[in-house]
Amino acid sequence: MLKEFKDFAIKGNVMDMAIGIIIGTAFGKIVTSLVTDVIMPPIGWLTGDVDFSNLKIILKPAVGTTDAVSINYGNFINSILSFLIVTFSIFFFIKQMHKIRERLDKHLGKEKKSAEEELSAKQISDKHKELIEQTKLLREIRDHLKKS
């Protein structure tokens, strides 16, 4: 069981996933800062210095030491904007990665094709030799059967 766990944990997919989660977490912090510190202040300024994070509907006001009960829709707006920015950023990043991959495939594809063609020619040659040997063997069997 320990060996199976070790094989699972060391597999490339698990390691890639772990790295992706770590990078995603760090990227999420960057995007949160982008939304909070860069994008929301101009939007607040355009809307008359409204701070979206403070927008809320109070359902029950605070009484004494009891906090107010409220629906914080401003935080929800910030979360939606953050989600849209993250989604767009990931879309843009993946789109650029596809372009780079296509360029590499075109560049390496020519070399790869020639290697594949070479391999195919070798395979055909090997099959051809094998068929010749089988034909010789079948002729020998035929000739032996005719004699007997």
Phi-psi region of 64 (alpha: psi -120 to 50; beta: other; left: phi over 0): left
pTM above 0.75, yes or no: no
Tell me the CATH number at 95: 1.10.1200.120
28's enclosing H/E stretch is helix 12-33
Task: Provide the number of structural domains found in the chain.
Answer: 1
**Residue 38: inside a domain, yes or no?**
yes
**Residue 85: inside a domain, yes or no?**
yes
**Residue 76: inside a domain, yes or no?**
yes
CA-derived radius of gyration, the chain: 33
Q: 50: buried, middle or exposed (CB in 10 Å: 19+, 13-18, 0-12)?
A: middle
Tens-binned pLDDT, residue by residue, of the chain (148 aa): 888 777 776 666 777 788 888 888 888 788 778 777 887 778 778 877 666 777 889 999 989 888 889 998 988 887 887 788 777 877 887 888 889 888 888 877 655 555 556 656 667 777 778 888 888 888 888 888 888 7
Phi-psi region of 132 (alpha: psi -120 to 50; beta: other; left: phi over 0): alpha
**Residue 140: inside a domain, yes or no?**
no
Which domain range does residue 81 map to?
2-119
